Structure 1
Amino acid sequence: MSRRLTWTLLALTSVLLVLAVVPLAVLMTARERVAFRDDQRAATRVIAAAAEEHLSDRKPATGMRQELDAAARAGDCAAVYDASARLVASTPCTAAQGEDSQEVVADVLAGHEPEPPESEGRLLTAEPAGEVRQPAGAVVLARSAAPLDGRVAAIWGWSAAIAAAGLVASVLLSVRLARWVSRPLSALDASARKLGEGTLDERADVGGGPPEVRRLAATFNTMAARTEALVHGHRAVLADVSHQLRTPLAALRLRLDVLSTGAEGDTAAELDAAQEEIARLSRLVDGLLAVARAEQATPRPAAVRVDDVVTERVAAWSPVAEERGVRLTASEGPALTASLGSGHLEQILDNLIANALDAVPDEGNVTVDCRLVGDAARVCVRDDGPGMPAEAKAVAFRRFGNPAARGTGLGLAIVHRLVTVNGGGARLEDTPGGGLTVVLDLPLWAGEP
C-alpha cells in the first residue's frame, strides 16, 4: 500500500508539474523572442530614420554614419540601400549584404512587409527609409541570435530546476504521507493476525495515523476485548460444565458399582444396563465438551511432521485393531510438514481411526496414508466397512448428523472443526470396492515446497 500510494502521488505531481511548467516555459520563450525581435526592429528604425534624411532630404551622411557606427559597436551588422537596391553604406561586417538581404530589400522597396529569415545564427530585420509605399531606400540589420538562445536556455534550465525541486519535494512528501497512512494500517494488520492466531490480549495502537485509521484501531480494540471476554466466558462455562457433570456421573457410577456387588438375577442385569447407560452418558458429555473446545479453538500454527504423526498414531492404535481382528496399516509417504495447532493432528487421527475400527467388521482393513497434492498435505483414512449413504455423508460433519453412528456421533464434527480452523478441508468419499474414505487437505508449513 505504501508503494502504491507513493507512486500514485508522484505520478499526479509529475503530471501537474508538466502541465504547469512546460506551458509557462513556452510562453516565456515566446515573449523573449518577441522582445528580442522588437528591440532589433527598433534599432533598425533608428538607422532608417537617419538614412531617410540622407537619401530623401540630401543631408550629409554624418548622422547615418554615426548610427551605423553605434550598431557596429553593439555587435550588429547593418547596411543601407537606396531606392534602386544599391548599397549606400554599411558596417564593417558584411552579414547584412548576402542573398537573403537582397531578397528582403527587394520586398521592402516593393512596399511589402517581409518576414526576415534567420541566416547563419543571425536574425535579419528590414525597414524602409521613408514612406512604406514609396521608400527612398531600405535598411537591413543582422543581429546574432546567441543572446536570445542563451536567455531561452536559461528559461528552460530554470524551469527544469523548478520542476526537479518540486518533484524532490513531492517524493519526500509522498513517502512521509504514505508512511503516515500505511504504518498504522500495517500495525493494525499485525494485531489482527495475532488475534486470529489466538493472542486474545493483543491490542492495536490508536495513537498514530489519520483519524479514520485511529477510529478503526479503537473499534478493533473494542472488538478484541469483547472477543476475549466471550472466549474466556466460554472456557469458564466449559470448565464448570465439565466439573458439574463429571463429578455426579462418577459418584453415580460408584454407587451403582456398590449396589451391583452381590446382586443377582434381574437386579444384576438392570444394574449392568444402568452402568452401560452411565458410561454412554459419560462418553457423550466428553464428546460434547470436545466439540465445544474445538469450536472455540484459536490455534497457533506450528510445524507438524504429518508422516511421523501418522506412523505414531497407527502404532498406538494397532493393539486395539489386533484385539478386534482388524488390519490397521500406514502407507509409506513423503516427508511433509503441515501448519497445524499443537496436538490437533493427533486428535483428528484418533477420532478417524476410532470411527473406522468401529465401522469395519472382523478381518477388515483400515489404511492411513499421506501425500503431497498441489499446495496441501493430503491425509486419507480408508476402510472397507459398510460405507455411508449419500444422505448421511451430506450431514456427517454436523453434531449428531449420522443417527446410525455406533458412537456418540460427534467424532466427525470434531474432526471437521479442527481441520477447518487450521485452514484445511475435509470431505467423505466412497472407498473403491466398498467402504468409506475420509480425505483431509492440510495447509503446508511455510517453506515446504
Structure 2
Amino acid sequence: MTRRITWTLLVLTSVLLVLAVVPLAALVTARERVAHRDSQRAATRVIAAAAEEHLSDHRPATAMRQELAAAARAGDCAAVYDASARLVAATPCTAAQGEEADELVADVLAGHEPEPPENEGRLLAAEPAGEVRHPAGAVVLARSAAPLDARIAAIWGWAAAIGTAGLAASVLLSVRLAGWVSRPVSALDASARRLGEGALDERADVGPGPPEVRRLAATFNTMAARTEALVHGHRAVIADVSHQLRTPLAALRLRLDVLAAGAEGDTATELAAAQEEIARLSRLVDGLLEVARAEQATPRPTAVRLDEVVAERVAAWSPVAQERGVRLTAESESALTVALGAGHLEQILDNLIANAVDAVPADGSVCVDTRVAGGSVRVLVRDDGPGMTAEAKAVAFRRFGNPQARGTGLGLAIVHRLVTVNGGTARLADTPGGGLTVVLDLPPWTERGHERVPRRDLYRF
C-alpha cells in the first residue's frame, strides 16, 4: 500500500508540474525572444532616422555616425546603405555586411518586409531609411544572440529547479502520507493475523492513522473482545460438561462392576451388557468432547518436524498393530516441517492410525507416507482394508457421518477440523488395489510467512 500511494502521488505531481511549468517556461521564452527582437528593431530604427536626414535631406553625417558609434559601444554591428544598395557608413565590426545583409537590403529597398535570419549566434534586423515604399536607404543591425540564449537558459534552469523542488516536496509528502495511512493498516493486519493464530487477547492500537482506520481498529477490538468472551465461554461449557458427565458415568460403572462381581446367570449377562453400554457411552462422551475442543481450537502455528512426529506415532502404535497382525510402516520423502498448532499433528495421526488399524483385517498393512506436493506438504495414510463407498466418503468428515464405523464415528470429524483450522485440506481416496487413503495437504513452515510484527508502535503524521 505504501508503495502504491507513493507512486500515485509522485506520478500525479509530475504530471501537474509538467503541465504547469513547461508551458510557463515556453511562454516566458517566447516573450523574451519577442522583447529581444523589438529592442533590436528599435535600435535599428534610431540609426535609420539619423541616416534619413543624411541621405534624403543631405545634412551632415554627424548624427548618423554618433548613432553608429553608440551601437558599437552597445556591442552591436550596423551598416548604412543608400538607395542603390551602396555601403555609406558602418561600425568597425562587419557582422552587418555580407550576403545575408545584401539580401535584407534588397528586400527593404524593394518595399518588402524582410525575414531576418539567425546565423552563427547573431540576429540581423533591417529597417528602411525614410518611407517604406520609396526609402532613401536601408540600415542593417546585427546583434549577438548570446544574451538572449543566456536568459532563456536561466528561464529553463529556474523551471527545472522549481520542478525538482516540487517533486522533492512531493516525494517527502507522499512518503509521510503513505506511512500515515499504511502503517496503522499494517499494524491492524498484524493484529488480525495474531488473533487468527489464537492470541485471543490481541488488540489493535486505536490511536494513529486516519479516522476511518481508527474506527476500523475500534471495531476490530470490539469483535476481538466478543470473540474472546465467546471462546472462553465455550471452553468453560466444555470443561463443565466434561466434569458433570464423566463423574456420574464413572460412579455408574463402579456400581455395575460391584453388582457384576456377585451376579450369576442371566443377571450377570445383563450386567455385562450394561457395562459395555456404559463403556460405549464413555467413549462417545470423550469423542464429543474432543470434537468440541477441536472446533474451539484457535491454534498458533509452530514449526513441527513431520518426519519426527510420524516416526514417533508409528512407533507408539506399532505394538497395537502387531497385536492385531497389521503391518504399520512409514515412508518419508525428506525432512519436512509444517505449520500446525502444538499437539495437533499427534492427534491427527493418532485418529487416522487408530481408524486404519481397526479397519484393516489381520495380515493387512497401513502406511503413513509424507511428501511435497506443489506448495504444500502431503501426508497420506493408506490401508488395504475394505475401504468406503462413495456415499460414505461424502459424509465421512461429519459427526457420526459413517454409520458403518466400528467406533464412535468421530475420528475423521476431529481430523478434518484440526486440519482445516490450521489452513490445510483433507480428503478421502481409494487405495490402488483396494482400501482407503486419507490425503492431507498441510501448510509448510516458512520463517518469512510467520514473522511477528511489533504490536504497539505509534505512528503520527
The TM-score by the shorter chain falls in which range?
over 0.9
Equivalent residue number for residue 197 of structure 1: 197
1:421 aligns with 2:421: yes
| Partners of 2:143 and 2:14 in 1: CA distance | 39
| Partners of 2:41 and 2:376 in 1: CA distance | 85
| Partners of 1:307 and 1:383 in 2: CA distance | 19
Report matched runs for 1:7-406 at 5 Å. 7-406=7-406
Give structure 1 stretches of 5+ with no counterpart.
none
Q: Which amino acid aligns with 1:441?
A: D
| Partners of 1:210 and 1:447 in 2: CA distance | 32
1:358 alignment partner, SS class? helix
Q: CA deviation at 1:208?
A: 0.7
| Partners of 1:5 and 1:88 in 2: CA distance | 71
- Equivalenced residues, count: 448
2:311 alignment partner, SS class? helix
Q: Which amino acid aligns with 2:373?
A: V
Q: CA deviation at 1:321?
A: 1.4
Q: Which amino acid aligns with 1:221?
A: N
Q: CA deviation at 1:120?
A: 2.3
Q: CA deviation at 1:98?
A: 1.1
| Partners of 1:14 and 1:119 in 2: CA distance | 36
Q: Which amino acid aligns with 2:148?
A: L
* Distance 1:215-1:447 versus aligned 2 partners, 3 A rule: closer
Comparing 365-374 with 24-33, greater Cα deviation is found at 365-374
Q: CA deviation at 1:332?
A: 4.7
Q: CA deviation at 1:374?
A: 2.2
Q: Deviations over 1:300-345 (max 9, x none)?
A: 1111111111111111111111222222222354211111111111
| Partners of 1:333 and 1:164 in 2: CA distance | 59
Q: CA RMSD in A?
A: 1.2
* Distance 1:144-1:356 versus aligned 2 partners, 3 A rule: same
| Partners of 1:47 and 1:241 in 2: CA distance | 116
Q: Which amino acid aligns with 1:52?
A: E
- When normalised by structure 1's length, the TM-score is 0.98
Q: Which amino acid aligns with 1:406?
A: R
Equivalent residue number for residue 435 of structure 2: 435
Q: Which amino acid aligns with 1:211?
A: P
| Partners of 2:436 and 2:386 in 1: CA distance | 8
| Partners of 1:204 and 1:358 in 2: CA distance | 48
| Partners of 2:150 and 2:361 in 1: CA distance | 102
* Distance 1:64-1:333 versus aligned 2 partners, 3 A rule: closer
Q: CA deviation at 1:40?
A: 0.6
| Partners of 1:144 and 1:180 in 2: CA distance | 55
Q: CA deviation at 1:373?
A: 2.1
1:128 alignment partner, SS class? strand
Q: Which amino acid aligns with 1:440?
A: L
Q: CA deviation at 1:424?
A: 1.2
| Partners of 1:174 and 1:188 in 2: CA distance | 21
| Partners of 1:119 and 1:305 in 2: CA distance | 83
| Partners of 2:177 and 2:82 in 1: CA distance | 72
2:380 alignment partner, SS class? strand
Q: Deviations over 1:46-102 (max 9, x none)?
A: 111111111111111111111111111111111111110011111111111111000
Q: Deviations over 1:403-431 (max 9, x none)?
A: 11111110000001111111111111111
- When normalised by structure 2's length, the TM-score is 0.95
2:116 alignment partner, SS class? coil
Equivalent residue number for residue 457 of structure 2: none
Q: CA deviation at 1:372?
A: 2.1
1:331 alignment partner, SS class? strand
* Distance 1:103-1:185 versus aligned 2 partners, 3 A rule: same
Q: Deviations over 1:137-176 (max 9, x none)?
A: 1111111111101110110111111111111111111111
| Partners of 1:223 and 1:270 in 2: CA distance | 54
| Partners of 2:17 and 2:152 in 1: CA distance | 19
| Partners of 1:389 and 1:79 in 2: CA distance | 113
| Partners of 1:57 and 1:332 in 2: CA distance | 118
| Partners of 1:163 and 1:333 in 2: CA distance | 61
| Partners of 1:110 and 1:333 in 2: CA distance | 101
Q: CA deviation at 1:200?
A: 0.5
Give structure 2 stretches of 5+ with no counterpart.
449-461
| Partners of 1:97 and 1:334 in 2: CA distance | 93
Which stretches of structure 1, 4 residues or more, deviate above 3 A after TM superposition?
none
| Partners of 1:180 and 1:2 in 2: CA distance | 9
Q: Which amino acid aligns with 1:48?
A: A
| Partners of 1:416 and 1:299 in 2: CA distance | 14
Q: Which amino acid aligns with 2:290?
A: A
Comparing 168-177 with 377-386, greater Cα deviation is found at 377-386
Comparing 15-24 with 324-333, greater Cα deviation is found at 324-333
Q: CA deviation at 1:447?
A: 5.7
| Partners of 1:436 and 1:176 in 2: CA distance | 59
Q: Which amino acid aligns with 2:314?
A: V
| Partners of 1:111 and 1:247 in 2: CA distance | 126
Q: CA deviation at 1:399?
A: 0.7
Q: Which amino acid aligns with 1:357?
A: V
2:71 alignment partner, SS class? helix
Q: CA deviation at 1:33?
A: 0.3
Q: Which amino acid aligns with 1:206?
A: V
| Partners of 2:332 and 2:12 in 1: CA distance | 60
Equivalent residue number for residue 452 of structure 2: none
2:97 alignment partner, SS class? coil
Q: Deviations over 1:337-362 (max 9, x none)?
A: 11111111111111011111111112
